[in-house]
Amino acid sequence: MRKKSRRGNVRKFRFRSIFTRRRADDETEWIRFDEEPVAAKHSPRRRIRRRLLAARLIALACLSVSIPLALKWGYGEVFFKNEEFVLKSLQIQTDGSLNVTRLAEIANVSAGMNLMDLDLGQIQTRIETLPQVERATVTRELPDRLHLMVRERVPVAWLSVPPLGIRPWDLERGFLLDEEGHVFRCLDLNEGIKSLPVVEAFEMVEPEEGAKVASEVISAGIKLIVASDARFLPRGLSVQSVRVRDEWALECTYSTALKATFGAYDFARGLDDLALILDRMADTGRTLSTVNLAAVKNIPVTFAAAESSTVAGNATATAPVSPVSQVTSAPLSGDPDSSASGTSDSAQEKHLRSILKGG
């Protein structure tokens, strides 16, 4: 509070104060208040509420800690220390040639182990590290069984790289290829594996077992084998080998000794053209020997040697005829396209004519 005195008016009476004596301050002129308010007394009901709230918070904290610990202890007692969950039966199923005993050793699982202690993800990872394995599935069957299902890679061709010493039909230096281009060794050289086609290349990085081939042309050759067999195998025309001529062309040899050259990145169109040509050759009675399907138009074709047979008594004699090279710009003998111009051609015949005659 402001002091009520005459000192504030000294400026007005400064000359007068020189000649007058200053009077002592009067204590009664101060107005004082208590600066510290008196603390209000808390009611007993409020104190009880605060104590109950604190007790509830402490109890809640104890429950949040004790319940997980109790559950963990109970889970360990029921499952991990229970003799009923001891592994007694390990069932392994595989669709390939992998040995079941070897799979059990790689999985590192044996009878007598606690079924709940096993890490299924780790077992699956160890099995899938095998180059021959595409996918593995591990499941528990309580109380005492473990199931391991293995899906192996399906080989579609052999890999042949003579400069690297990689040879087909060889268990030590031979490699198989699946549809996606993974490289893995042959474990069982049976008749089905021996009959697989061969993909041959002369320039390639040393393959790593279990990894994909680094060459895009070899990958294209694998896809060519799969697509061609899916289309022509019902006709009895299967692929025997695919040779990588360069980075753009693939030479495919079929079971009928037909040699077809495909573009490495355009073999789907080449298969369509080959289907049209084979249909027409069936009508004319001729057999293809070579065809270059890398060209879009003016496709070069040659025909196999014709055989003429004469029957004399019970003996049959055959006289070979020199193969005739058919230039694509010339019409085929017996070709219905050389008939009257008024005959309407189907869409398939027009496309075939554009292939063989260059449009």
Q: What is the pLDDT of residue 315?
A: 36
Domains and CATH numbers, the chain: 83-152 (3.10.20.310)
Encode pLDDT of 324-349 as tens digits. 333 333 333 334 343 433 344 456 56
Q: Are 296 and 247 in contact (CB under 8 A)?
A: no
Question: Which DSSP string corresponds to 74-123?
Answer: HHIIIIIT-GGGB--EEEEEESSS--HHHHHHHHT--TTSBGGG--HHHH
The rounded mean pLDDT for the chain is: 77
**CA-closest candidate to residue 253, choices 333, 172, 160:** 160
**CA-closest candidate to residue 244, choices 220, 223, 277, 278:** 220
Q: Are 145 and 135 in contact (CB under 8 A)?
A: no
Q: What is the pLDDT of residue 334?
A: 39
Quote the CA–CA distance of 260 and 349 in Å, as a whole number: 21
Question: Can you give the pTM of this predicted structure?
Answer: 0.65
pLDDT surpasses 60 at 200: yes
Q: Are 322 and 293 in contact (CB under 8 A)?
A: no
Distance, first Cα to last Cα, the chain: 115
More confident residue, 186 or 72: 186
More confident residue, 203 or 319: 203
Q: Are 213 and 204 in contact (CB under 8 A)?
A: yes
Encode pLDDT of 123-168 as tens digits. 999 999 999 999 999 998 888 889 999 999 999 999 999 999 999 9
Distant-in-sequence, close-in-space partners of 19: CB < 8 Å, separation ≥ 6:
none
Angle, CA 286 vertex, CA 320 and CA 343 arms, to 5°: 145
Average pLDDT over residues 302-322: 46
- Tally Cβ neighbours within 10 Å of residue 294: 21
